[in-house]
Amino acid sequence: MKTKGKLRLKRYLPLYFLFLPGGLYLLINNYIPLGGLVIAFKQYNVRDGLWGSPFVGLKNFKFLFATGDALLITRNTILYNVVFITLNTVIGIVFAIFICDAVSNRLKKVYQSVILFPYLMSAVILGYIVYAFLGTENGIVNNTILPLLGKEPIMWYQEAGYWPFILTFANMWKGTGYGCLLYISAINGIDTSLFEAAALDGASRWQRIKAITLPSLVPTIITTTLMHIGRIFYSDFGLFYQVPRNSGALFRTTNVIDTYVYRGLMEQSNVGMSAAAGFYQSIIGFLLVVLANYVVRKISEENALF
Amino acid sequence: MINVIYYIILYILKEDYNMKNKKLISRLLVAAMTAGTIAGYGNTGSIVAGAASEEGVTTTSIGTYTVDDPYHLVFEYCEVSDTDADARAAVEAAVNEYMIPNYQIEVEFLPMSIADYYANTPLMLSSGEELDVLPIMFSTASSWLSMGGILDLAPYMDSEEGQKIIEALGDEETAYAATCNGVLFGFPANKEFYSNRGFLLRADICDELGFTEKYNLDRPDADIYDGTGISWEDEEAMLVAVKEAYPDMTAFYLSTTAKADLLFDLLDDGFGVLDMVADREGTTVVNMYETEQYREHVKRMADWYDKGYIYKDAATGSTRADEMMRAGNTFSYPTNIVPGALIGTNISNGCKCYLVHREPEKKGFITTSDVSFMNAGIATQSKDPEMAFKFISALYSDPTLFNLWQFGIEGVHYQLLEDGTAYYVEGENASNYKYHQNSGWQMGDQFKGLVWNDGTAGPDYWDALKEHNQKGDRSPVYGFRWDSTEYSTELTALNAIKEQYIYQLETGTCGSDNVDDLLEEFNEALYNVGLQDIMDAKQAQIDAWLAAK
C-alpha cells in the first residue's frame, strides 16, 4: 500500500508543482482570510488586535435586522438574483449559439466585442446612461419620446414600480456579453464531427441545437448556476446603488443587502458590523450551494460539483 | 466585505512579523515604546508644570534635551497640495534650524495625502511606529481613543504652553471643544468657526428684474454679516418673477449635495438635536424631523417643487451647485456664507453673483462640531508627550514655525507682498510651485500666520474672520460632545432610514400631496429603530454635562 502511495506521489509530483502557485494563491487569498470571520463576533479595535478585541456575541448582526427591512432587502436580493441568473443563462446561451453560427470569422469577433463592450463600463457610467434616458429635467424619454407619443412625462426616479424592469434590463445590457463568453467556448469545444454527421443525416438547424448543443452545455450551465447561487446573497453594488441614483423613493424595489449595509455604515466605520454582514452573506450562500448541489446530485449525479 | 477581512489579515501578518523581529531589532525601540506608554498612562498625574526651559536646554519629567541632543519629534499632517520632496526637505531643515536652538526639538515631517491619512494613521497608532503630533478628525477621535491610540491632553494644560493655546483660541470652551467621552484629545485649528445661512443669486438677472435695487444686493462686503438679509418669502417672490421671465431656467437649484442648512445644533449626527429657532437657549433634545422648523421647510420645498422653481432631478442629482451655475441655466441656490466668500464664489460660479444672508436665521451660530472638525493631538507612543505638547503650543503661538511649515522659506518658496500678505515667488504659480501647504485649517493658529493672497483674501482677512467668529451666537451646549459608543446598532439603522427619506423631503421632489404622509412615515420608521433611546441618552449626557459645568 505504502509503496503504491509513494509511487503515485512520484508520478503526480510535476502536477503538484504546477498546482503550487495557484494553490498558494488560494491559500493566501481565500483560506487565510477565513480566520478574519471571527471579527463578526467581536467589538473590534485596532489596539487590542484581532484576537484581543472583546467578544460581543451576535450583537454585530443585530443591525441587519434592526429596521424591519431585513425581509424586504433579503427578498429583493434573492428575487433579483434569481431573475438575473435565469435570464442571463438563457440569453447568454442564445447569443452564444448565434455568434457561433455566424459564417464569417471576422464578423464573429466583431459581434462578440460589441456585446462585450458594455460589460467593461463601470456602473457609474451605466448609471449616467440610464439617467440620460430617464432623467426628469433632460432625459430623452421624458423630453422627446413620451411627448412624441402624446403621453405625460413619468418621474422615473420617484416610482418604485418600474425599477425591477429597468434594473433587469440594465443588468442584461451590461452582462450578456460576458455571460455568453463561457458558452461560446463550450460550444466551440463540442466535437464538430457530431454536427457534420447530424447535418448529413438531414437534421435541421433547430434539431442540431436541441439534440447536440444544448445537451453538451448542461454541465457548463449547472456549474455556472451553482456558482451564481453561491453568491445569491450578494448583489452588484454598483448596479443597485449607482443606477437608481440612491433615490430614497425607490428603496422598496432597489434596496439590497449590500446597499443597505453601505448606507448604514457609511458614516461610521464599524469593522465588526461590516464583517457581520459579509459573514451572513457568505454563510447563507454556502448553505445554498450545498443544498443546490445536493439537489443536482439527486437528479443527475455525474453533473454535481461534489 | 472580503476586502475588509483581507485587509485585517494583512494587518495581523504584519503584526506577527513585527512580533518575531522585535527581539532581533534593537532593544531601543522596545524601550522607546515602553517609555511612551508609561508617559501616556503612568506619569500623567505627576506632571508638574510643563517642560522647563533654560537657554538651550529643556528638561521634562522624562529627559533633558539640548541643542546638541534635541528631542526628535515626528509631525504628521495632511498634505493637500502636491509638494516637491527636495523643497520639503529644505523647509524641514529650515524648521530645525529654528526649532533646535529655540525649543530643542528636531522635527521630522510626515506628510500624508488625505486617503493615506485615513488608512494609515490607525495602523501607525496601533503598531507603535514613531509618531508624536498628528491631526485628529473629530469623527475618528472616539475610535482612536477607545483603542488607546491618542493621549488625554488635559494633564498638560496647567502650564505656560497650555495657557498659550487657550489664548490663541480665545477661551477655554473653544480650547476644550475637542473633547470626546470626557477626554481632551486635541485642539481645534483657529479658523472661521461657523458660516451664515444665505442664498447665492445670479447678478445679471437680479439687475435685469430689479432685485438688486429692491434688496440692496450689490454690496462688495455682502459676505460679512451686517444685520440685513432676505426672507424665504423674498426669495420666493424672486423665483416667481424669474420663472415668468425665463420659464426654462432652473430658478432654485437643489441636489443631494446642495441643500439648505437649517438652524439646529445637530449634536454630531442629527438624531436628536437642539432646535435653535424654537428656543435659542434651550437644551432639550428634540427629534429634528418632527420640529416645526423642519416641517415648514420641507413643505415649502415641496410647494416650490410643484410650482417648478426647483431643479427637477434634485433628489437624485449630485452635480455641485457652482457647476450648475457655470453651465448657465440656474438663477439661485442656498449657500453658506463666510467672510471672503464673495470673490471665491464669483470665480467658482463663472459669473458675477450676489450673496445675501437669510432671515430669520441670518445670524449663524457656533456648535461644537463646527469648531473641532480637525484638531492637533498627540499619539500615545510619543516618547516625550511634554515635548510634543510644547510643539503643539508652538503651532498656536509661534508664527515663525507656523509660516515655515505652511508656506516654506521666505524668498525661496514665497514672497511677502507690500501689504504684508504672501504669494508665490516670481516665476512660480499654483501649477509650478515647489513648496506650498496653505492648510492651516487642520492644526495651529492661522490667524497668527500669513494671509495667502491668491486673489480671494486681502491683508485684513484674518481680522474679518476673527470678527465673524465674535459675532456668531454659541449653542447653549457649546463644548458638549456626546458619547455614542453604546449606540452603534441604532445609529446604523437610523442612518439607513435617513438616506431613504431626506433627499425626497428636503428637495421637495415628493410633492405637496405626499409631504405630510412621507414625513410621518419617516418619523415612525426612526422611532421604530430606537430614535427615542438615542434622544434619551443624549439628553441624559447633556444634563450631566450642564450639571458638571
Query: How is B465-481 classified by DSSP, letter by letter?
Result: HHHHHHHSEEPTTTT--
Q: Among candidates B293, B242, B246, which has minimal Cα distance to B265? A: B293
Say how far residue B362 (Cα) sits from the centre of its chain: 21
Question: Which amino acid, one-letter code, is at B445?
Answer: D
Cβ–Cβ under 8 Å, residues A38 and A50:
yes
Pair A96, A203 in one domain: yes
Residues A95 and A223 in one domain: yes
Burial class from Cβ neighbours inside 10 Å (0-12, 13-18, 19+) for residue A18 reads exposed
Amino acid B291: pLDDT: 96
Q: Is A90 domain-assigned? A: yes
Q: Does B119 touch chain A (CB under 8 A)?
A: no
CB contact under 8 A, B6 and A245: no
Contacts of A274 in chain B (CB under 8 A): 1, 4
Mean local confidence (pLDDT), B21-42: 35
Cα B81 to Cα B436: distance, rounded to the nearest angstrom: 7
What is the per-residue pLDDT for B54? 57
pLDDT per residue as tens digits for the range A93-117: 999 999 988 878 899 889 989 999 9
**Residue-wise pLDDT tens digits, A131-182:** 999 998 889 999 999 999 988 889 999 899 999 999 999 999 999 998 899 8
Query: What's the number of domains chain A is made of?
Result: 2
Chain A residues whose CB is inside 8 A of the B490 CB are 66
Residue of A25, A43, A67, A152 for testing the chain B interface, max B β-carbons within 10 Å: A67
Out of A69, A264, A271, name the one closest to residue B495 (CB): A264
CB contact under 8 A, A33 and B315: no
- DSSP one-letter string for A169-225: HHHHHHHHHHHHHHHHHHHHTS-HHHHHHHHHTT--HHHHIIIIIHHHHHHHHHHHH
The mean pLDDT of B439-450, rounded to a whole number, is: 92
Q: Which domain holds residue A50?
A: 38-67+268-306
CB contact under 8 A, A281 and B1: yes
Residue B378, all three cell numbers: 498627540
pLDDT, residue B8, reads 40
Comparing A229-238, A251-260, B32-41, B490-499, which segment has the lowest mean pLDDT? B32-41
Residue that the C-alpha cell 509638494 belongs to: B83
Dihedral of CA atoms B250, B252, B256, B262 in degrees, nearest 10, equals 180
Element holding B188 (H helix, E strand): strand B187-188
When pLDDT is cut at 50, 70 and 90, the band that residue B459 belongs to is confident
In B349-474, DSSP assigns E strands to 353-357, 365-366, 374-378, 415-416, 422-423, 473-474
Tell me if residue B126 falls in helix, strand or coil: helix
Q: Which of A295-304, B298-307, B482-491 has the highest mean pLDDT?
A: B298-307
Pseudo-torsion of CA A270, A274, A277, A283, nearest 10°?
-130
Q: Assign B250 to helix, strand or coil.
A: strand
> From the CB of residue A150, how many other CB atoms can be counted at a distance below 10 Å?
6
Same domain (yes/no): A239, A94: yes
Domain pair B2-191+372-406 / B196-367, same fold: yes
pLDDT confidence of residue B243: 95
Give the pLDDT score at B250. 94
Instruction: Decide: helix, strand or coil at residue B137.
Output: strand
Cβ–Cβ under 8 Å, residues B79 and B111: yes
Q: What is the CA radius of gyration of chain B?
A: 26
A104 touches chain B (CB under 8 A): no
DSSP state of A145: I
Count of alpha carbons within 13 Å of B242, Cβ hemisphere only? 28
Report pLDDT digits (tens) over B74-118. Answer: 999 999 888 899 999 999 999 999 999 999 999 999 999 988 898
Q: pLDDT tens digit string along A227-244?
A: 888 888 888 899 999 999
Burial B92-116 (b: 16+ CB within 10 A, else e): bebbbebbbebbbbbbebbbbeeee
Answer whether residue A12 is part of any domain.
Answer: no
pLDDT value for B23: 38
Please state, for a pLDDT cut of 90, what percent of chain A lies above it.
42
Residue A135 maps to a domain: yes
- The x, y and z cell numbers of residue B398, run together, are 509661534
Whether A151 and A294 map to the same domain: the answer is no
Please indicate, yes or no, whether residues A280 and A134 belong to a single structural domain of this protein. Answer: no
Which of B311, B499, B529 lies nearest to residue A66, judging by beta carbons? B529
Give long-range contacts, CB 8 A cutoff, 24+ apart: A258-267. Answer: A258/A234, A259/A235, A260/A64, A260/A69, A260/A73, A260/B496, A261/A64, A262/A237, A263/B495, A263/B496, A263/B499, A264/A63, A264/B492, A264/B493, A264/B495, A264/B496, A265/B492, A265/B495, A266/B495, A267/B269, A267/B491, A267/B495
Give me the pLDDT at residue B363, please.
65
Instruction: Name the pairing type of β-strands B365-366 and B473-474.
Output: parallel
CA distance B5 to chain A (A): 5
In angstroms, rounded to a whole number, what is the distance separating the alpha carbons of residues A209 and A266?
50
Nearest to B4 among A59, A157, A271 (CB): A271
Question: Nearest-CA distance from B485 to chain A in Å?
Answer: 11
Q: Are A278 and B1 within 8 A, CB to CB? A: yes
SS3 label, residue A267 = coil
Confidence of residue B27 (pLDDT cuts 50, 70, 90): very low
β-strand B52-54 against B179-180: which pairing, if any?
A: unpaired
DSSP string, B319-349: --HHHHHHHT-EEEEEEEE-TTHHHHHHHHH
- Nearest Cα neighbor of A273 from B529, B5, B268, B535 is B5
Whole-number Å distance between alpha carbons of B292 and B277: 9
The answer on A213 and A126 residing in a single domain is yes
Of A283, A279, A296, A281, the C-alpha closest to A60 is A279
Residues 6+ apart with CB under 8 A from B57: B64, B65, B66, B104
> Do A113 and A178 share a structural domain?
yes
Find all residues with CB under 8 Å of B531, minimum gap 6, and list them: B271, B272, B287, B490, B494
What's the mean per-residue pLDDT of chain A?
88
ipTM over 0.85: no
Sign of the dihedral defined by the CA atoms of residues A109, A110, A111, A114, in that order: positive
The C-alpha atoms of residue B271 and residue B491 are separated, in whole angstroms, by: 8
Predicted confidence (pLDDT) per residue in A134-143, tens digit = 998 889 999 9
Cβ–Cβ contact B315 with A under 8 A: yes
Residue type, A45: N
Residue B25 clears pLDDT 60, i.e. is over it: no
CA distance A277 to A283: 10
Mean pLDDT, range B414-421, rounded to an integer: 91
Interface of B with A in 232-291 (CB under 8 A): 250, 256, 269
pLDDT of residue A46: 62
Residue B20 pLDDT > 50, yes or no?
no
For residues A199 and A52, state if they share a domain.
Answer: no
What would the mean pLDDT of B259-280 be, rounded to a whole number?
89
Encoded amino acid at B424, one letter:
Y
Separation of CA B143 from chain center: 18
Q: Rg for chain A (alpha carbons), in Å?
A: 24
Note the pLDDT of residue A226.
Answer: 86
**Cβ atoms of residues B142 and B181 within 8 Å:** yes
Whether residue A252 contacts residue A160, with contact meaning beta carbons closer than 8 Å, is answered with: yes
Say if CB B303 and CB B297 are below 8 A apart: no
- Label residue A306 by pLDDT band (50, 70, 90): confident
Q: Do A46 and A172 belong to one domain?
A: no
Helix pair B114-127, B138-146: axis angle to 10 deg = 20
> With contact defined as beta carbons under 8 Å apart, do B348 and B327 qualify?
no
**B233-242, B253-262, B404-413: least confident range:** B253-262
Q: Does B14 touch chain A (CB under 8 A)?
A: no
**Mutate: best of B488, B523, B526, B527, partner A, most A CBs <10 A:** B488
Residues in chain A with CB shorter than 8 Å from the CB of B315 are 157-158, 247-249
CB contact under 8 A, A45 and B147: yes
The closest of B392, B377, B389, B388 to B72, measured between CA atoms, is B388
How far is the CA of A220 from the CAs of A176, A206, A216, A233, B222, in angstroms?
16, 20, 8, 22, 70
Cell of B384: 516625550
- CA A170 to chain B, closest CA, distance in angstroms equals 18
Pair (A117, A231) in one structural domain: yes
Whether A195 and A282 map to the same domain: the answer is no
Q: CB distance from A136 to chain B under 8 Å?
A: yes
Q: How many residues appear in chain B?
A: 549
Closest CA to A70 of A299, A243, A275, A257: A257
The architecture CATH gives domain B196-367: 3-Layer(aba) Sandwich (3.40)
Classify residue A154 by burial, with Cβ atoms within 10 Å: 0-12, 13-18, 19+: middle
Nearest to B336 by CA among B235, B194, B203: B194
Do the chains contact at B6 and A48, CB–CB below 8 Å? no
Average pLDDT, chain B: 85
Strand partners of residue B137: B374
Residue B18 has pLDDT above 60, yes or no: no
Instruction: List B residues 504-523 in contact with A (Cβ-Cβ < 8 A).
Output: 504, 509-510
Helix B488-506 vs helix B512-528: crossing angle, to nearest 10: 180
Judge contact between B98 and B404, C-beta under 8 A.
yes
Is A45 in the B-facing interface, judged by CB distances under 8 Å? yes
Confidence of residue B281 (pLDDT cuts 50, 70, 90): confident
Binary contact (A266, B495; C-beta < 8 A): yes
Edge-first strand order for the sheet with B330-337 is B250-252, B330-337, B196-202, B353-357
Q: What is the pLDDT of residue A37?
A: 86
A217 and A91 in a common domain: yes
Cell numbers that stand for B1 in this block: 466585505
Domain range list for chain B: 2-191+372-406, 196-367
- Considering only CA atoms, which of B111, B354, B13 is closest in space to residue B215? B354
Nearest CA-CA distance, residue A233 and chain B, Å? 12
CA separation for the pair B175, B164 (Å, rounded):
10
Asked whether the beta carbons of A230 and A284 are under 8 A apart, the reply is no
Q: Of the candidates A35, A135, A260, which has its C-beta nearest B496's C-beta?
A: A260
Which of B1, B316, B493 shows the shortest C-beta gap to A66? B493
pLDDT in tens, B166-217: 999 988 888 988 888 778 999 999 999 988 889 999 999 999 999 999 999 9
CA distance A295 to chain B (A): 28
CATH superfamily entry for domain B2-191+372-406: Periplasmic binding protein-like II (3.40.190.10)
pLDDT of A201 reads 92
Residue A229 touches chain B, beta carbons under 8 Å: no
The answer to whether B19 contacts chain A (CB < 8 Å) is no
Between chains, do B488 and A270 touch, taking CB under 8 Å as contact? yes
Read off the pLDDT band of B26 (50, 70, 90).
Answer: very low
What burial class does residue B298 get, using C-beta atoms within 10 Å of its C-beta: 0-12 exposed, 13-18 middle, 19+ buried? Answer: buried
Report whether pLDDT(B1) > 60: no
CATH number for the domain spanning A193: value is: 1.10.3720.10
